[in-house]
Amino acid sequence: MLLSDVFRQFTIKEPAKVKEDSPSLPETLGRGREAALEFLPILKTELVASDGSLHARTMLSVAAWLTGTSLYRSFNFKEAHRPGTMIKSDEVNKEWESMIYLLEQYNFQKADIPVGRLVLAAMAAPDFFKPEVEMLHVQSKLQGQYNTVMKKHGFDYLDGARVGIILCSILIQQYSGAGIIEPEAAAGVVAQRIFEAAKTVPSPL
């Protein structure tokens, strides 16, 4: 199923700020942020270039792929297919929408931006924003470390995906604040990559 097949405009009319007691968030927003900040230096260490630089779109893509992988694992699918196989699942589509709702709340303080607009903004970004690694490589190398950090903080796979939204939001705000990439384009990159990973059989743990 193509990403365009599940672009559906959010119908929420009133802007909504993230609340710590929201049932869609980890048990506490504070613990989720702690877990995200603990994993961030691991991510940077793994992705730093030989000259010490960090590629913005690669960082965003990897964080989003790990988020989507955690979302995939939350459904406990029987992995009868080879890693890299795309699956069809309305359940994943629905939960992905919830994740993008959170992403918009964190970064734009509202959840009424059509997903398609975010993705179009990402597609319009310059070519040098393309990630420099492949998703399956990221999954095989980093998902174990990501899950270890999530478990340390008491999060299961679904909450781990929600913590991933916090991680992605931290990066979006860092890179957009530095003028490296526009916030809507960055959010579009994240939305795309979460979807890709959530619908793709990952490498085994």
Which helix (H) or strand (E) segment holds residue 95: the answer is helix 90-108
Is 17 a residue whose pLDDT tops 50? no
Percent of the residues in the chain that have a pLDDT greater than 70, as a whole number: 80
Q: How many CB atoms lie within 10 A of CB 3?
A: 15
Looking at the chain, the number of H-run helices and the number of E-run strands are 7, 0
Write out pLDDT tens, residues 98-145.
Answer: 999 889 988 888 766 777 777 777 666 665 557 778 999 888 899 999
Residue 44's Cβ-count burial label (10 Å; 0-12, 13-18, 19+) is: exposed
Residues 143-194 have pLDDT tens digits of 999 999 999 999 999 999 999 999 999 999 999 999 988 898 889 889 999 9
Token pair listed for 197: 């990973």
